Structure 1
Amino acid sequence: MPTAIPLRRAARAVRILLATVVVVLLGYGLAGLIGGAIPVHRAWQAPEDGVRIYVEDNGIHTGIVVPVSAVGVDWRDLVRPEHLRDPRYAGHSHLSIGWGDRAFYVGTPTWGDLKPSTVLRAAFGSEDTVLHVGHLPEPRAGEPGVRALVLRPAEYRRLADFIRSSFSTGPDGLAGSVPGYGRADAFYTAHGHYSALRTCNSWTGEALRHAGVRMGAWTPFPVTVMRWLP
Structure 2
Amino acid sequence: MAIAGSVLAYFIAAVIGAVLPAGGGSRPAEDRPHRVLMVAGPIHYDFLIPLDAPAKARFAFLETAGLQLSHPDAQWLLLGWGAREFYTSAGSYRDVSAKAVLKGVFGDASTLRADVLGAIAPAQELPAVSFSPEEYAAFLEAAAASFRRTPDGAAQALAHPGFTATDRFFEAEGRFHLLRTCNTWVARMIRASGRRFGAWTPLPYSVSLSHALFLKE
Same fold (TM over 0.5): yes
Paired residue for 2:34?
51
Structure 1 distance, partners of 2:188, 2:87, is 18
Paired residue for 1:154?
134
Which residue identity does 1:137 align to in structure 2? Answer: G
Unaligned runs of 5+ in 2: none
Residue among 80, 83, 95 paired with 2:63: 80
Number of residues of Structure 1 aligned to a counterpart in Structure 2: 208
**Bigger CA drift: 22-31 or 108-117?**
108-117
Residue among 115, 118, 121 paired with 1:134: 115
State the Cα distance separating 1:164 from its structure 2 match. 1.2
Within 5 Å, which residues of 2 pair with 1:170-181? Answer: 170-178=150-158, 179-181=161-163
Structure 1 pair 90–103 and aligned structure 2 pair: CA distance change class (3 A): farther
Structure 2 distance, partners of 1:88, 1:35, is 35
Unaligned runs of 5+ in 1: 1-18
Within 5 Å, which residues of 2 pair with 1:120-131? Answer: 120-126=102-108, 128-131=109-112
Residue among 65, 79, 90 paired with 1:97: 79
Which residue identity does 2:171 align to in structure 1? Answer: T
Paired residue secondary structure (2:175): coil
* Aligned residues with identical type, % of pairs: 29
Structure 1 pair 226–137 and aligned structure 2 pair: CA distance change class (3 A): farther
Structure 1 pair 193–148 and aligned structure 2 pair: CA distance change class (3 A): same
Paired residue for 1:24?
6
State the Cα distance separating 1:20 from its structure 2 match. 1.8
Which residue identity does 1:129 align to in structure 2? Answer: S
Paired residue for 2:21?
39
State the Cα distance separating 1:93 from its structure 2 match. 1.8
- Is the contact made by 2:55 and 2:140 (CA closer than 8 Å) also made in structure 1? no
Hey, which bits of structure 1, 4+ residues long, moved more than 6 A? Answer: none
Which residue identity does 1:78 align to in structure 2? Answer: F
Structure 1 pair 166–76 and aligned structure 2 pair: CA distance change class (3 A): closer
Structure 2 distance, partners of 1:138, 1:150, is 19
TM-align CA RMSD: 2.5
Residue among 179, 183, 187 paired with 2:165: 183
State the Cα distance separating 1:124 from its structure 2 match. 0.5
